[in-house]
Chains A and B, each alone.
Chain A
Amino acid sequence: MDDHLIQVLSNIGMITFIALSAYVLLLTGEISFGQQAFFAISAYASGIATAMWGWSFWLGLLWGAGVAGFAAFLLAWPTLRMRGLYFAIGTLAFAEMVRLIFEVFHYQIEIDGEMVGPNGSEGFRGIRYIFENNISEFQYMMIIYALLASVLVFLFAIERTRVGAIFRMLGEDELLAEMQGVNRTYYKVMATVIAGLIAGIGGALFAHMNTYVEPKIFNVMLGVHSLAYGLIGGLGTALGPLIGVSLDIGLLESTRMFTGYRMVVFGGLVAILLIFRPRGLLDEEAVHAIRSAWRRKTPSTRQQSEIDAPD
């Protein structure tokens, strides 16, 4: 594989994490403009762990995702009472706050005669674990995709359980979900934390591939894109965000088909989809139709309801 391709695929993989993070919240009916904050928190936390504390990559990744998940847990409480537009504004404000905190966050220590650590708006250089341990770009790409596959399997599993149905119920009609006995607070916090963890995995991967991070990478455009990916690819399945990212990064950015006009094309694509397929290419109905077609192909004499019971 040539280097350019590896880099593109690695980028697609990493950005898909944050797109999936926004997707989980979209399922529950919340539009978050702030998932880049958890991406950033984990990028810094995992970078600090490996570059400054000497932790291993995997431990750093766990730590980063954990810190991001905890931050999401803390954010869940004040934003719980916010709905719709207010939730969007609340998450946006939170993400900007996090970015600005990193602008002034100084925490450096001397390693081998060199200052390492976050240095405010100068960024955080020297997250070199991958290079120091001779992990090739190809190997790192495989790590990204192995983790992505695990997250996707996890999300598929959730979709087939009651929790997945509850997320979609909350997304469609919160009051009705509550009248069906759903503890809204519990499941909303759960969705927020899952979203934070997923964004956190992506953030740790990002920091270690780039070897350096700076606050302005995690601006609001990253959040807007990650939302758009789910809406383009479709909200019917966790593959939707992956399709959205592949279309944008794989097709528009990497092929340089529309150099300079990429954002115009991307914006147009979003607008067209919002008109013709408001819930994305692979929306619920499309997924349902595909599944039914698949089922008809596989011979089975079982009752429909037995196949259906998704537990």
Chain B
Amino acid sequence: MLELQALSKHFGGVHAVDDLSLTVNRGEIFGLIGPNGSGKSTTVNLICGVLPVTAGTISFEGHDITSAQPHRAVAAGLARTFQNIRLFSHLTVWQNLWVAQGRTDGHESSRFVKRWLAGDSTARRSVSDLIAFAGLSDRGDEYAGNLAFGEQRRLELARALATGPKLLLLDEPAAGMNLEEVRELDERLRQLVERGITILLVEHVMELVMGVTDRIAVLNFGRKIAEGTPAEIQNDEAVQEAYLGSSNKA
């Protein structure tokens, strides 16, 4: 579904991502792990079109999206969450989800008028669904910035889902969560896969990665040093050396 081929990103002399190739298959949860600064977030930014690629190609469902602008990547069916929660805090929960309903790529003007006149009930319904999915049913009118931390996390996931993605890129969704919340997230991700969404999970929290993913790729200094099932990765010597160090937490 998503295919990176010999992808590289250099910042001056720093090779943030170096000759990275990997394939994410439809319907799986693919884990991308690695020590801090190993190029995980850069990879996500490259896929979304936020950063220009130095070399290599990215294709999504057979289409080349290497140099697609972010909104084109979104239109193609990509969505992401951010390492630190990013929401429109001066907009309501409702508005945060509403805008992404229906593609806003600029070719909607005529449809827009029609929808405005017709009162677009489909979009309204799906926003309500998303709010319910995020467990925020009675908070729709609240400013996103006034929500509690956990609520904001759930809203952020709903915000990404609002674009109707086929592939969801999650950048450290479990950061700052306690074990209970991690279990909830684990459950939520499985629900998404059942809904037919493929997930690329960038994560530090091993309890989540090892439990929920189908396959994992390990990055170190921008290079892929291992790929395989969670069990294979846990027993990989190169990974243990580079990432887990001597104290094998996993």
Q: Which of B90, B100, B106, B159 has the most CB of A within 10 A?
A: B90
Q: Is the CB of B86 within 8 A of A176?
A: yes
Report which of B90, B94, B163 forms a contact with A284, defined as CB distance below 8 A. Answer: B90
A172–B87 Cα distance when bound, in Å, is: 9
| B133-145 near A? 1/0 per residue, CB < 8 Å | 0000000110100
Given the contacts A179-B74, A182-B104, A304-B140, A168 and B91 also touching, CB distance less than 8 Å: yes
Closest residue to A163 on the B side, CB-wise?
A: B112
Q: Which residues of B contact A181 (CB under 8 A)?
A: 71, 74-75, 100, 103-105, 163
* CB-defined contacts of A306 to chain B, threshold 8 Å: 124
A305/B128 in contact, CB under 8 A: yes
Q: Check A292/B75 contact, CB under 8 A, given A168-B90, A181-B163.
A: no
Contact A169 to B88, CB < 8 A, known contacts A182-B104, A305-B124, A308-B140:
yes
Contact call B143/A285, Cβ cutoff below 8 A: yes
* B contact residues, total (Cβ < 8 Å): 43
- Taking a contact as CB atoms under 8 Å apart, the answer to whether A308 and B91 are in contact is no
Question: Any chain A CB within 8 A of the CB of B243?
Answer: no
Closest residue to B108 on the A side, CB-wise? Answer: A162
Residues in B with CB closer than 8 Å to A310 are 95
Chain A count of residues within 8 A CB distance of the other chain? 32
Q: How many A-B contacts if CB must be within 8 Å? A: 104
Q: How far does the Cβ of B127 sit from chain A's closest Cβ, in whole Å? A: 8
Q: Which of A173-213 contact B (CB under 8 A)?
A: 173, 175-184, 186-187
Determine whether the beta carbon of A180 is less than 8 Å from that of B91.
no
Asked if residues B91 and A172 are in contact (CB atoms below 8 Å), the reply is yes
- Our pick among B48, B87, B94, B116 for the contact of A305 (Cβ within 8 Å) is B94
For residue A177, which residues in chain B have a CB less than 8 angstroms away from its CB? 88
Tell me if B70 is interfacial: C-beta within 8 Å of chain A: yes
Of the candidates A173, A184, A284, A311, the one having the most CB atoms from chain B within 10 angstroms of its own CB is: A311
A311 near B115: Cβ-Cβ < 8 Å: yes
Please indicate which of the listed interface residues B103, B116, B120 has the most CB atoms of chain A within 10 Å of its own CB.
Answer: B116
- For A172, give its contact among B75, B80, B89 (CB under 8 Å): B89
State the main secondary structure of chain A at its contact with B: helix
Tell me the smallest distance from the CB of B230 to a CB of chain A, in Å: 29
A180 pairs with B74, CB closer than 8 A: yes
In the complex formed, the residue of A with least CB distance to B74 is A181
B119 proximal to A (CB < 8 A) = yes
Among residues of A, the one whose C-beta sits closest to the C-beta of B89 is A172
User: With a CB–CB cut-off of 8 A, which chain A residues contact B127?
Assistant: 305, 309
B197 at the A interface (CB under 8 A)? no
Chain B residues lying within 8 Å of A182, measured Cβ to Cβ, are 71, 99, 104
Give chain B residues whose Cβ lies under 8 Å from the Cβ of A305.
94, 124, 127-128, 131, 140-141
Contact B105 A183 (CB under 8 A): yes
Asked if A166 contacts B120 (CB within 8 A), the reply is no
Taking the complex as formed, is B157 at the interface, i.e. its CB lies under 8 A from any CB of chain A?
no
* B154 to A: closest C-beta gap in Å: 17
Kindly list chain B residues whose C-beta atoms are within 8 Å of the C-beta of A173.
Answer: 86, 88
Question: Does B70 lie within 8 Å of A179, measured CB to CB?
Answer: yes
Q: Which chain A residues border B79 with CB–CB below 8 Å?
A: 179
Which residues of B pack against A, CB within 8 Å?
48, 50, 69-71, 74-75, 79-80, 82, 86-92, 94-95, 98-100, 103-106, 112, 115-116, 119-120, 123-124, 127-128, 131, 140-141, 143, 159-160, 162-163
**Residue contacts A-B, CB under 8 angstroms, 20 given:** A165-B98, A166-B99, A173-B86, A173-B88, A175-B50, A178-B69, A179-B50, A180-B74, A180-B99, A180-B104, A180-B162, A183-B104, A304-B140, A305-B94, A305-B131, A305-B141, A309-B94, A309-B124, A311-B116, A311-B120
